[in-house]
Chains A and B, each alone.
Chain A
């Protein structure tokens, strides 16, 4: 992870190559959820401040206010706005009594020889509890604010961009109703990258939510016509290119340990999946050849209306880090860990945490499994699961309550208090992470067998943002805990 310094360096490189580079974010920048547990407020707000410092360094032009950005409360975001070098935009988060927006509804920029307007919309789809009575705030429906914003900006802007955290279906309706909006950058929780789709005269696009990618959209904009050319087969071509990129990524994953036909020769299921991918890749390549030919023929015969080309850049590990943003990230993670350490210390003195060795629910720790399952225990000791807590210690993140659940045993669904005070025997990804809490089984082995892990068990941690293209059968076989 640590994608921000890489993102910053990529943006800097782009700005060195080109003039007129506009950096925008449609929101959900600060927090993952709309509510954060009270015991994590200090750590998560410290992280949010670090993110804003990094965005200041990267000279972002505007960021939309999404619902998740309000998770630490409206007053927190308003105070953070004071420290932001970029405007936070929301045309529809307004004062309940006066109707006045709490953030700038739009910003006007002059770049690349044209006037660009950027409007922000906050989704009102979700629980009402997001805003408190004390906030005196309401999120208005988009229908109530967009007509006014468009009327105001239509004559002043050559290009109108909307940063929206509304769901995709709503953004589609907005595009259908307002062709005056030329581009919608969509935020929120959809998996995968969404290449630009043209609806009337509006492009809608979205980059994957987990920071694994950035979107780069090169626009050649005709300020007189203000119209996109007919995308024709271009959308399909982009989709196919992205599909090929994803497939190459997955194939690369299989090849990581050597030639898959040799490495997986005894794992027919894994090998079959690999062969299927190779076949799919070949078909895709053929399709791309014919689509590219059609596109080239079209380009030759068409007059120059506005056009675009789009790509999603993977934030690969080997990309260089920007030193200034890396320093901000390191200072932030160090502060987050310091706060976690302080919180753990405070909890240790209160009565509940006097027993420092907490075994939540029915957990017992891996040592209890060792005597009967000796071979499995020995094998487990050689895996990265056995070192998972050490990895956090190595990074100085062992008090980070956000990280801990995937580096210890029995922490899912537990309070920060429990997570930070787990018994030593649970401080690794132990047997019970996969097989479930097993204290009863350890005491009376005949009383019932622990469960077998499923793909879903692993996906709690091996998610796209932590372990892209996790292959369950291959990983399951590699751990080798099968047997008694």
Chain B
């Protein structure tokens, strides 16, 4: 019973922390938007030909 409670509490704490961290990231983004700064992430690739040929 004690163990289950401990496990539950740990999970709850982890979930709360993750939520706070996500919210903090979004808040930082909003502040930057207000300053006229826009945040963009570019994901770029070059020549992926051959990647569908897993020869071994």
| Interface positions of A (Cβ within 8 A of B) | 1-4, 7, 11, 14, 17-26, 28-32, 47, 50-51, 54, 68, 111-114, 116, 158-159, 161, 183, 185-189, 205-211, 214-224, 304, 306, 329, 332-333, 336, 388, 391-392, 394-395, 397, 400, 402-403, 406-407, 465-466
The distance from the CB of A228 to the nearest CB of chain B, in whole angstroms, is 13
Q: A interface, by DSSP: helix, strand, loop or mixed?
A: mixed
The distance from the CB of B15 to the nearest CB of chain A, in whole angstroms, is 16
Q: Is B44 within 8 A of A217, CB to CB?
A: yes
Q: A23-B43, A407-B55 are in contact. List 10 more A-B contacts (CB 8 A).
A: A1-B51, A21-B42, A24-B44, A28-B47, A30-B49, A215-B43, A219-B41, A221-B40, A329-B54, A394-B56
CA distance A205 to B47 in the complex (A): 14
Q: Tell me, yes or no, whether B33 is within 8 Å of chain A by CB.
A: yes
28 contacts between A and B (CB under 8 A): A1-B50, A1-B53, A1-B54, A1-B55, A2-B52, A4-B48, A4-B51, A17-B25, A21-B42, A22-B41, A25-B44, A29-B48, A51-B51, A113-B38, A185-B42, A211-B47, A215-B42, A215-B43, A216-B43, A218-B40, A219-B40, A220-B32, A220-B39, A222-B36, A333-B53, A388-B56, A400-B55, A403-B55
Q: Is A220 within 8 A of B55, CB to CB?
A: no
CA distance A112 to B40 in the complex (A): 6
**Inside 8 A of B35's CB, which chain A residues have their CB?**
304
CA distance A24 to B44 in the complex (A): 5
- Quick one: closest A residue to B53, CB to CB? A402
Q: Is B42 within 8 A of A219, CB to CB?
A: yes
Give the contacting residue for A218; candidates B25, B33, B39, B47; CB below 8 A: B39
CA distance A68 to B53 in the complex (A): 17
Interface residues on B, range: 20 to 34
Give the contacting residue for A397; candidates B49, B51, B54; CB below 8 A: B54
Q: Is B47 within 8 A of A51, CB to CB?
A: no
The tally of CB-CB contacts under 8 A between chains A and B is 184
Q: Is B52 within 8 A of A54, CB to CB?
A: yes
Q: Is A224 within 8 A of B40, CB to CB?
A: no
CA distance A107 to B25 in the complex (A): 30
Q: Is B40 within 8 A of A207, CB to CB?
A: no
Q: Is A224 within 8 A of B36, CB to CB?
A: yes
**Inside 8 A of B47's CB, which chain A residues have their CB?**
28-29, 32, 68, 187-189, 209-211
Q: Is A23 within 8 A of B48, CB to CB?
A: no
**Inside 8 A of B53's CB, which chain A residues have their CB?**
1, 47, 333, 336, 397, 400, 402-403
Q: Is A11 within 8 A of B49, CB to CB?
A: no
